[in-house]
Copies of this chain bind each other. A is one copy, B any other.
Amino acid sequence: MSRRTLKLGAVLLGVGGPGQHRTWLDPEIPADASVDIDWYLARAEEAEAAKFDLVFIVDSQFITENSPNHYLSRLEPLTLLSALAVHTRHIGLVGTATTSYNEPFNLARRLYSLDHISGGRAGWNVVTSGDAGTAGNYSRDEHYDYATRYGRALEHVRVAQGLWDSYEADAFPRDRATEVFLDPAKQHALNHKGEHFSVVGPLNLERSPQGQPVIFQAGDSEEGRDLGASIAEVIFTHAQTLEQAKAFRTELRERAAAKGRDPEHVLILPGIRLVIADTDEEARAKEDALLGGRSFDRALKELGRPFGWHDFTQYELDAPFPDVASLGERSFRTQAEGITKLAKDNGFTLRQLVEHLSESARSPFVGSPTTVADTIQHWFEEGGFDGINVTVNAPSEFARFTDQVLPILRERGVVRSEYESTTLRGNLGLPIPENRHTAARRPQPEPALVP
């Protein structure tokens, strides 16, 4: 198989990165963009015009007044994507939804409805919720620990996939002449009884054009990588250096292969932040200005998030970084441990840590259109990723990428010129999973006769 083109995702209203709490000050973005359906519709249409594979919607369900501004008030991802579905024709629609605070029947049904409405363009970014406080919105005293979160996630996805196979492709003859609507032999209950869920089924939705929504996954811990290797067809991650990116991709492909999966069916798409200007120098100055806009106080508050929104303002700024890594266990453990190790290894004070983190948030994708195109192509060809998720905030910045960088990459054959398919699977080059009941019905090949 010839290598695929570079895959492109657009993270609509991407938050994260330095100065995220200042995004709303950009006069180009409506200050209430996070609840403005017209803003999302326009960006999705632009991404589709640029032949992106997908739009990507992140999510969280727990806020404090210190949460990033655009988190405070925003649309639920699948509800949002359904509106985008009827204004686009080719682009994939990937929504983040947590397995920790959803029931598989309900979520499988909503995702499959989106898959039908969009003609086979739905994707599900499977997460387990990092914000410990989410528990309080779902009648629980505390968030699940890692083993439970990821155990539940795996079972949840398997149940959803089982429900999506409730009907074989030809279950509905809908033949008016013979008055046969359903072929009951092709309707299947699931009868799942597991550690976390019992689900009888069947799901009340027939097979969609791409068979099953594409499974995306984001989660960085040992448990998270194991889940990704088990179920993910696309992995959303981050990439700070080419070496890190290559190591992550190699590891995940190997883990998937060890589970008997084809590594070509596991695509790695890090989220990347682009800073593009006419020259490299101007682009660097642009990033400096962005980093300069940070507020130390704000960064100190946001540092609390991976530790379950721990309040770091209670500590002496010039004393050694406090060891509260254990608070990550019911929150973002990987991040909490990483930050703590960084501080320890370097002997950082709290102040030095905050300053270091902001500084090290510099993006590797800063420069003129040619520089950025070169860097992306280099990382891609070196096996750093299969595609990229580009943060979309200000339209003029996005246009720099679509109008100045993409034409270079298109010219070089790195990205597509036309959609290959109307389904997300088709465009990502992922196979359509065969319905399990149809597969079971298929005659097995005769065992080869010993001559």
In the complex, which residues of chain B have a beta carbon less than 8 angstroms from the beta carbon of A174?
Answer: 24, 31-32
Q: Interface digits, A111-148 against B, CB 8 Å rule (1 contact, 0 not)?
A: 00110110000000000000001001111100000000
Q: A67 — which chain B residues lie within 8 A by C-beta? A: 204
A87 on the interface (CB 8 Å rule)? yes
Q: Is the CB of A35 within 8 A of B206?
A: yes
From known contacts A61-B204, A72-B182, A83-B82, infer whether A136 and B199 are also in contact, taking CB-CB under 8 Å.
Answer: yes
Select the stretch in A99-107, A312-320, A329-337 that faces chain B. Answer: A99-107
Question: Given that A113-B76, A116-B35 are known contacts, is A198 also in contact with B136, CB under 8 Å in the complex?
Answer: yes
Q: Tell me which of B86, B110, B184 contacts A65 (CB under 8 A).
A: B184
Is the CB–CB distance between B113 and A75 below 8 Å? yes
A27–B187 Cα gap in the complex (Å)?
25
Chain B residues with Cβ below 8 Å from A196 are 139
CB–CB B187/A72 < 8 A: yes
State whether the Cβ of A324 lies closer than 8 Å to any Cβ in chain B: no
The tally of residues in A whose CB lies under 8 Å from a CB in B reads: 65
> Does the CB pair A109–B37 fall under 8 Å?
no
Bound Cα distance A61, B205 (Å): 10
Is A246 among interface residues, defined by CB-CB distance under 8 A? no
Chain B hits for A296, CB < 8 A: none
Interface membership of A307, Cβ < 8 A: no
Question: For the complex, is A348 an interface residue (Cβ under 8 Å from B)?
Answer: no
A172 sits at the interface (CB 8 A): yes
Chain B minimum-CB-distance residue to A32: B174
Check A79/B117 contact, CB under 8 A, given A174-B32, A205-B35. Answer: yes
Contact A103/B199 with A37-B116, A117-B79 known, Cβ cut-off 8 Å:
no
Q: How far is the CA of A230 from the CA of B37 in the complex (A)?
A: 33
Cα A174 to Cα B29 in complex, Å, equals: 12
A399 CB–B CB distance under 8 Å: no
- With a CB–CB cut-off of 8 A, which chain B residues contact A133? 200
Closest partner residue, chain B, to A65 (CB atom): B184
A73 to B61, CA, bound (A): 30
A435, chain B: closest CB distance, angstroms: 14
**Judging by beta carbons under 8 Å apart, are A71 and B204 in contact?**
yes
**Contact check: which of B86, B105, B137, B140 meets A86 at CB < 8 Å?**
B86
Q: Does A179 contact B (CB under 8 A)?
A: yes
A291 in the interface (beta carbon within 8 A): no
Does A74 sit at the interface, judged by CB under 8 A? Answer: yes
Residues of chain B with a CB closer than 8 A to A73's CB: 167, 172, 204-206
* CB proximity of A74 to chain B, nearest CB, Å: 6
Residue of B nearest to A140 (CB): B198
Let me know if A78 is at the binding interface, CB within 8 A.
Answer: yes
A: which residues have CB within 8 A of B? 21, 24-25, 27, 31-32, 35, 37, 41, 60-61, 63, 65, 67, 69, 71-76, 78-80, 82-83, 85-87, 101-103, 105-106, 109-110, 113-114, 116-117, 133, 136-140, 167, 172, 174, 176, 179, 181-182, 184, 187, 196-202, 204-206
13 new A-B contacts at CB < 8 Å, known A65-B184, A72-B204, A79-B79: A24-B181, A25-B176, A25-B179, A27-B176, A32-B206, A35-B116, A61-B105, A61-B204, A72-B182, A76-B110, A105-B137, A105-B138, A138-B199
Q: What 7 pairs between A and B have smallest CB-CB spacing?
A: A136-B200, A31-B174, A82-B82, A79-B113, A73-B206, A76-B113, A105-B137
